[in-house]
Amino acid sequence: MLVEIAPPAFDVDIALAYAGADNFMGQPVYRNPRCWLHGDAAAALTRAIALADEQGLRLKIYDAFRPSEAQWALWHHTPDPDYVADPRRGSPHSRGVAVDLTLIDADGNELDMGGPVDDLTERGHHDATALTPAARRNRLLLLGIMTAAGWDWYVREWWHYQLFRPRDYPVLSDRAAGTGMMA
Where are the alpha helices (H) located in 34-80, listed in sequence order? 39-54, 68-77
Predicted TM-score (pTM) of the model is 0.96
Q: Is-contact 179 2, C-beta < 8 A?
A: yes
- pLDDT tens-digit series, residues 93-137: 999 999 999 999 999 999 999 999 989 999 999 999 999 999 999
Say if CB 97 and CB 91 are below 8 A apart.
no
Q: Which of 100, 55, 67 is nearest to 177 (CA)?
A: 67
Summarised one tens digit per residue, pLDDT across range 44-95 is 999 999 999 999 999 999 999 999 999 999 999 999 898 899 999 999 999 9
- Identify the structural domains of the chain with CATH numbers, from first to last: 2-177 (3.30.1380.10)
Contact by Cβ (8 Å): 98, 44: no
Beta strands in the chain (DSSP E): 2-4, 12-14, 36-38, 58-63, 98-104, 151-154, 157-163
Catalytic residues: 157
